[in-house]
């Protein structure tokens, strides 16, 4: 279990993905984008729009069941991207780097970018925007919904 949570809203995700696009536009042009499903799909859509890129491939890697990490399973390889030369690979985040390692093995020449990064996975990423600590779990807007929370004074009194 993570010891803290970092909640990302749709608005923040859009802004952070655009910030990543600003960094990536200088590194292009790109032949196409490989989105790591599922988490990379929405950042990839936002960034593809900003980079004016219409060729999108996907690679499907299943590493986590909610917060529980397992062995990575490749459910779909990124066939159209060859060895990755000239391609941009996008994911929502890098945590331990397990997923990134598998994708780098398949696309050794690609540029690998994520919106968020944790320290253990950071060395595997070429470009990212925001770093959070290793014990932080990032809560994405597609995994959450607004709900009632108790006033701080009341939840502090319960401790
Ligand atoms: O650096 P790692 O420790 O490998 O963790 C990062 C990966 O974990 C999550 O994917 P997940 O396996 O939950 O699948 P999903 O994208 O389909 O939700 C996330 O989207 C990254 O792809
Ligand atoms: O939603 C998520 N948040 C995270 O911090 C994380 N790390 C690995 N996989 C993750 N998925
Ligand atoms: Mg993922």
Q: Are 110 and 81 within 8 A, CB to CB?
A: yes
Residue 83 appears among annotated catalytic residues:
no
Non-local CB neighbours of 1 within 8 Å, separated by 6+ positions: 67
More confident position, 158 or 153:
153
Query: What does the radius of gyration of the chain's CA atoms come to, in whole angstroms?
Result: 17
Q: What is the ipTM metric for this complex?
A: 0.98
Q: Are 112 and 20 within 8 A, CB to CB?
A: no
Q: Are 59 and 36 within 8 A, CB to CB?
A: yes
Rounded mean pLDDT, 93-107: 97
- Which CATH number is associated with domain 4-157? 3.40.50.2020
Tokens of 61: 């890697």
> Is the model's pLDDT at 159 over the cut of 80?
no
> Is the model's pLDDT at 156 over the cut of 90?
no
Considering Cα of 124, then 126, then 128, then 131, what sign does the dihedral take? Answer: positive
> Is the model's pLDDT at 16 over the cut of 70?
yes
pLDDT band at 149 (very low <50, low <70, confident <90, very high): confident
* Helix, strand, coil percent values for the chain (each to nearest 5): 30, 35, 35
Sole residue written with tokens 């701080």: 152
> Is the model's pLDDT at 1 over the cut of 90?
no
Distance 50 CA to ligand 1 centre (A): 24
- Whole-number Cα distances in Å, 119 to 45, 68, 130: 26, 19, 11
* Pocket test residue of 37, 93, 94, 128 for ligand 2, highest count of atoms within 8 A of CB: 93
| pLDDT (tens digit per residue) in 45-99 | 999 999 999 999 999 999 999 889 999 999 999 999 999 999 999 999 999 999 9
Per-residue pLDDT, 152: 84
Q: Are 10 and 142 within 8 A, CB to CB?
A: no
d(CA 122, CA 103): 15
Residue 27: count of CB within 10 angstroms of its CB: 13
> What is the pTM (predicted TM-score) of this model?
0.94
Paired sense of beta strands 56-65 and 68-76, if any: antiparallel
Rounded mean pLDDT, 32-44: 98
Q: Is the CB of 96 under 6 A from ligand 1?
A: yes
d(CA 1, CA 48): 34
């Amino acid at each position: 279990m993570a010891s803290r949570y970092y909640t990302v809203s749709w608005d923040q995700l859009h802004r952070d993905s655009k910030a990543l696009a600003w960094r990536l536009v200088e590194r292009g042009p790109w032949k196409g984008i490989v989105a790591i499903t599922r988490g990379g799909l929405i950042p990839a859509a936002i960034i593809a729009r900003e980079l004016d890129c219409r060729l999108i491939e996907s690679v499907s890697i299943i590493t986590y069941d909610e917060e529980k990490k397992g062995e990575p399973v490749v459910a779909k390889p990124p066939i159209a991207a060859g060895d990755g030369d000239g391609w941009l690979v996008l994911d929502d985040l890098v945590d331990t780097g397990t997923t990134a390692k598998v994708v780098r093995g398949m696309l050794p020449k690609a540029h690998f970018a994520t919106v968020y990064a944790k320290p253990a996975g950071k060395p595997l990423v070429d470009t990212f925007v925001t770093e959070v600590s290793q014990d932080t779990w990032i809560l994405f807007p597609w995994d959450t919904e607004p709900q009632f929370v108790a006033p701080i004074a009341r939840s502090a009194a319960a401790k």
